[in-house]
C-alpha cells in the first residue's frame, strides 16, 4: 500500500508526498498539492505495477526541457550533417516551456505554442522545423534516455500543425537562361560555369562548393559526391555540357574544383539575376530546373533519383515541375 506524508514545501505551503514501495521495483515518490491528487496518482501506479505494465516516470518527471535540450545538443546534434538546428535549440531553451519537466508538457502546450508563433507572423515551415526538433528530442528521450513512459506531445496535435506554403515551382522561362548566362559572363569569375554545372547535374549548392578533382572521373564521365545531405554518397553522370565545364577549369593547389563557398555562390547568383533583370529566382531553383529536365529527357523516376539523390519519390515529385507545353510533342 502507498503511504502519504504531509510536508511543508519550499514556499512554506503544505504539500502531500505519495510513497510507493514494491519489491522488485524502484521506490516511487511524488509531491502533490492535495492528498486527493496524491491518492489518485498512487492508485494509478499501483494498478500498473499489479498488471505488470508499469514504466517508471521518475526520469521524465525530474528532467526539464532545458536540460534535455542541452543533452540533445551535446549528444545528438554533432552526429547530424546539418548545423542549422542550433538556432532552434536556443529558441526552445529561451521559451517558458524549457523550465517545465518533459513529463508535464502536453499537446495543449504545443498547440498554444503554434498559435503564438503564427500570431507573431512566423512562417509555417519555420514552425514545422521547430516542432520536428522537439519531436525528435522526445522520441530520443523515450527510446535512448530511459524515459519510456514519455508521450510525444507533437504526435498529439497532428491536425493542428501549421499550414505549410506550397512548394516552389519556379523554373527558367523564355530567354532567362540566355540572359542569366550572359550576365554571369559579364560578372566574371566562376559563377557562370557553376550555373551551367548546376543546371546539368541537379547538384545542391553545398555539394558543388565541396567538389574535389580527385572525385572527377573524366574518362567515365562521372562525379563522386561523397558527402550528401541525406548521408548517402552518390555518383553523378556528367553530360557533354557538364564535362565541357570542368575541361577548361584550372587545377587548384588545394584540390578543390571551385574557390567559391556555398554562401558566396548564392550572393553572386543574386547579383547576376539582378543584372539580368530576372526576379524571383534562387540558386536552389536550378536544382528544380535540372530535375525537371531529366524527366523531359525521358529518364524514369528511379534513374532521376539516382542522379539527384532524392530518397523518396514524394521528395522527387516536389522537385519536378513538368511544363504541359513541353509534353505535347510526346503525346502524338
The pLDDT-based confidence of 327 (bands split at 50, 70, 90) is low
pLDDT band for position 319 (cuts 50, 70, 90): low
Catalytic residues: 204, 229, 284, 287, 310, 319
The whole-chain average pLDDT of the chain stands at 86
> Is residue 324 pLDDT above 60, yes or no?
no
Tens digit of each residue's pLDDT (9 = 90 or more) over 70-114: 999 999 888 876 556 888 999 999 999 999 999 889 999 999 999
pLDDT tier at 266, thresholds 50, 70, 90: very high
Return the pLDDT at 55.
63
pLDDT value at residue 323: 59
Q: For residues 17 and 138, which has the higher predicted lDDT (pLDDT)?
A: 138
What does the pLDDT average to over 296-302?
A: 86
Average pLDDT over residues 191-208: 95
Q: How confident is the model at residue 313 (pLDDT cuts 50, 70, 90)?
A: confident
Q: What pLDDT sits at residue 179?
A: 96
> What pLDDT was estimated at residue 83?
54
Q: Name the more confident of 98 and 38.
A: 98
Percentage of the chain modeled with pLDDT above 70: 91
pTM of the model: 0.62
**Mean pLDDT across 290-318:** 83
pLDDT beyond 90 at 230: no
The three-state DSSP-derived secondary structure of the chain is CCEEEEEECCCCCEEEEEEECCCCCCCEEEEECCHHHHHHHHHHHHHHHHHCCCCCCHHHHHCEHHHHHHHHHHHCHHHCCCCCHHHHHHHHHHCHHHHCEHHHCCHHHHHHHHHHHHHCCCCHHHHHHHHHHHHHHHHHHHHHCCCCCCCCHHHHHHHHCCCCCCCCCCCCCCCHHHHHHHHHHHHCCCHHHHHHHHHHHCCCHHHHHCCEHHHEECCCCEEEECCCCCCCCEEEECCHHHHHHHHCCCCCCCCECCCCCHHHHHHHHHHHHHHHCCCCCCCCHHHHHHHHHHHHCCCCHHHHHHHHCCCCHHHHHHCCCCCHHHHHHHHC
Phi, psi (5° rounding) for residue 7? -135, 170
Amino acid at each position: 500500500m502507498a503511504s502519504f506524508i504531509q510536508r511543508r514545501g519550499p514556499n512554506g505551503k503544505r504539500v502531500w508526498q505519495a510513497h510507493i514501495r514494491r519489491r522488485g521495483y524502484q521506490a516511487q515518490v511524488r509531491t502533490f498539492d492535495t492528498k486527493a491528487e496524491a491518492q489518485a496518482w498512487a492508485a494509478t501506479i499501483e494498478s500498473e505495477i499489479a498488471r505488470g505494465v508499469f514504466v517508471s516516470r521518475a526520469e521524465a518527471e525530474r528532467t526539464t526541457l532545458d536540460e534535455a535540450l542541452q543533452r540533445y545538443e551535446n549528444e545528438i546534434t554533432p552526429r547530424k550533417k546539418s548545423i542549422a538546428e542550433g538556432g532552434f535549440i536556443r529558441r526552445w531553451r529561451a521559451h517558458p516551456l524549457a523550465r517545465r519537466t518533459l513529463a508535464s508538457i502536453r499537446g495543449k502546450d504545443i498547440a498554444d505554442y503554434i498559435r503564438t508563433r503564427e500570431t507573431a507572423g512566423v512562417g509555417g515551415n519555420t514552425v514545422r522545423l521547430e516542432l520536428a526538433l522537439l519531436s525528435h528530442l522526445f522520441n530520443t528521450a523515450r527510446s535512448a534516455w530511459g524515459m519510456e513512459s514519455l508521450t510525444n506531445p507533437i504526435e498529439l496535435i497532428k491536425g493542428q500543425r501549421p499550414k505549410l506554403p506550397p512548394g516552389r515551382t519556379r523554373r527558367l522561362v523564355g530567354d532567362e537562361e540566355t540572359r542569366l548566362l550572359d550576365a554571369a559572363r559579364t560578372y566574371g569569375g566562376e559563377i557562370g560555369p557553376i550555373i551551367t554545372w548546376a543546371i546539368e547535374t541537379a547538384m545542391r549548392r553545398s555539394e558543388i562548393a565541396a567538389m574535389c578533382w580527385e572525385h572527377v572521373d573524366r574518362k567515365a564521365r562521372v562525379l563522386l559526391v561523397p558527402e550528401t545531405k541525406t548521408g548517402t554518397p552518390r555518383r553523378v553522370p556528367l553530360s557533354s555540357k557538364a564535362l565541357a565545364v570542368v575541361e577548361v577549369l584550372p587545377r587548384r593547389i588545394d584540390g578543390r574544383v571551385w574557390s567559391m563557398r556555398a554562401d558566396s555562390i548564392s550572393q553572386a547568383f543574386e547579383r547576376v539575376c539582378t543584372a539580368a533583370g530576372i526576379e524571383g529566382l534562387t540558386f536552389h531553383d536550378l536544382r528544380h530546373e535540372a530535375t525537371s529536365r531529366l524527366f523531359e529527357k525521358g529518364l524514369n523516376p528511379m534513374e532521376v533519383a539516382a542522379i539527384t539523390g532524392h530518397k523518396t519519390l514524394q521528395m522527387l515529385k516536389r522537385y519536378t515541375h513538368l511544363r504541359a507545353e513541353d509534353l505535347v510533342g510526346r503525346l502524338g
